[in-house]
A and B are shown apart, each in its own frame.
Chain A
């Protein structure tokens, strides 16, 4: 059954059972999206890790299907993003319906001049498969299946982890333990840490179906459709001719009744007409919660992804936030392990990603409130918005079935240096993610291809002689008009002028970019002292 064949990944007897060393710098719990991404991001910086997972396969069901641009950019560093783009669905047109009538059409054609589109729809099991493949090929990563964490004992400089396997129990001594083990985090439960938040009672039904006749070419959102008149229905395309149909069921529906194939099929038949044929892939009734831990770092235990925070699914902020979490964490952890930054650098992981989680919860709650209004006036405004949307384009902007996940802005982070110059017309300010642009260089067609795993200084100095002095350990990118690249610098050719445009890159302008591709500081004319100060601040020495 189903278009996806679930592989079983091999279990290997851990060496600790036979007296091998128990000491590991990094132990990651959970091989979902966050765990393997973190392991790869650490490996890219020369840091070894062990990933423990109680299961031996990928995600059961399509689950997190919208892979956002910023996640693809992270995965591209491991060479697996293009595989996702090739397999997934990129370009999306769609139609919004009210009752039985289409009210407007939308077209999410990607903005040109970026390596990756705003998002790709791809089932979570493919994302995990590609991550697992890549991890299994990486010497610095040990991916241990059927290794279940049953005990966690935090110490001052390490964490003891008890692990159960088919061959018995063993203990690891982890320098740092990173819990990427999902919303029901075992590590969080074992440490008895609170997970406060809000419970929502609306029920939704996901039906993943694979069309055996021609599938609809468009994405569709229905409000009050004739086949489900009291509520809304969202439809998303996925790879392999699979569609996700997301029915809002309301608070009082009986999930077992709704899940019965005959009941799902009756609605689908009304949606797709008498000639359509399909097979069921996965059906699930869900409710959701919005929760966030008070601290993402507890001594030597760190939480990331759904283990640390959860949101409603609207707006694709689960999996994508998990990737952003571990991208934020990996370089900081690598620096702390190497002794090049103080342990307190990890406090910024907590503050930056908690701020991001708050923003994600706000955004997804707004979408949820639009799809399932909580009080009569809220419903009246929602319905008025829909009624105006056919004739008034402004109202279409207000229709909120989920806002695209974009990198959150982290203003006021202690790692970033606020603008000193006041004449910026555009360009990513400190605390914002860098933006991509095309460049004409032999080994890469885009700016993001040239940003490595460390800090980067992007300079628009007109001549080589005007380049700022490069601090130790920082890679230089020069968008210079003339002159060869000196040692430490790579010359970029601004093929379409879009690098200058997107960064407001006037002569002398420079951006200091963090390893997670956030802008740490920018200047019209940096001097050596300012540059050194910004770098100190960004590496936790500020």
Chain B
């Protein structure tokens, strides 16, 4: 015992140490992370974000440099404070306050002293910067907008939030990410890939050299420039026409599915969301629940499509063979579609409408009957509505279009299961769903879906998925945007409907949309709509809707215009669509008086009604 006490103790201590080491080095994992986080610093090299051009090569979004004056308090040496303050345009008290704040944050780490200098301030400061040890200028890149319109299309960039940092390991807190529009949908293309330099830090958080001689470092990859399909001039013009109105304009090139204009009103100047005023302006826009300027009405708003939807019912009826273009249906200023159920129409009593006239006079009676024939062709309304639904959905309605913009809405095209939910005990008939005949009721569509539907009609039976990307430098665009998508309607069935749409403009409900020398085909719509005021369902002034394409035999543009509470189709939507078409096809406007009326016209009074707290009249 006496002899081996020390031997025993030595071995015991040795084993204790090995046990402790195995705990520290083999079983406890937290030390590795702690080590990396306190000894290695990653410095990122951010590539310049890609520029955005319009379809004609006009620059829409570029970058502008911004300069921050940074300070590392520990490195500051006595300086001529007075001169420095005058260069920065700050008071001496301010200087002391800012310096204290920076010191409080960290004496070792640089922090922002004065943010976002103007170019002039930067120029005069730069020459003298060497005199002020501990201060340096850090360049940052901000977006610079060359257009005042298309904010909804372009989107904006802002700092990532915690959720995004957690979801996507690429982003670090404080980095920028695209939001809305193409900034969001082409984020990865525009952004490029940041480069990283890993640096070894010492215990004072000072950089002492590259980590592992830079073997983990990467070079930044430049962001790519993109061209979008928008025609900036047309977009700007659309925006002007929508002044003091709410709604959306979507214009598509039928031959390619390219979006020529995507106007949402009210909108905002994209430059509002850049620079020092960004967060204040964003809060203002975000909390504007009356105008909801951040809401892209062209993509997201869902409205009952109204009469333009009748063209689809006509096409389905021809395809299903339940009517011929020549067959007439008599309208008695309306009709009873079921016992005691009257549907009004504006045709004079006794009017005999064939398909052409039914379309250009927008006869409710004609389309109610056509719709009933479609549904009743099959053994049950359930089967009938499934066939009808299949045809309608082949025009891109009732689901997301799959376009390359980050928002959208499904819209709605009811099918049998939809009515099963609505009428769980069954018993619904064609007449129960008769509103579908005239685009009211359960059918909902967004302006872009209506524009796409119009493009499909213009193409006589096919469309390309609408898209915003024209080309990306050195990269092909997604194949799905160059693949034709066929509707279920045979091409020969389009002629009578298109003739009808042509007559809408020539002699029908939208003669105001007629343009000399251009064969325009269109269809007006007037959609009832409701809101809830003081928990009461209240009807508001009808929406004004117009879809059109032109020229008739070689369509270059298909357009859908939606004006909220615009009374009726030909009052606002049809003239605006017509002006857009003329502007796009000829580059000028021949009807100055019409243009002036549209530019100056305002519906603000109409929009104030529901908020007035007073009883109000609609459609006056």
Task: Check if A and B associate.
Answer: no
A binding-site residues for B, Cβ under 8 Å: none
B binding-site residues for A, Cβ under 8 Å: none
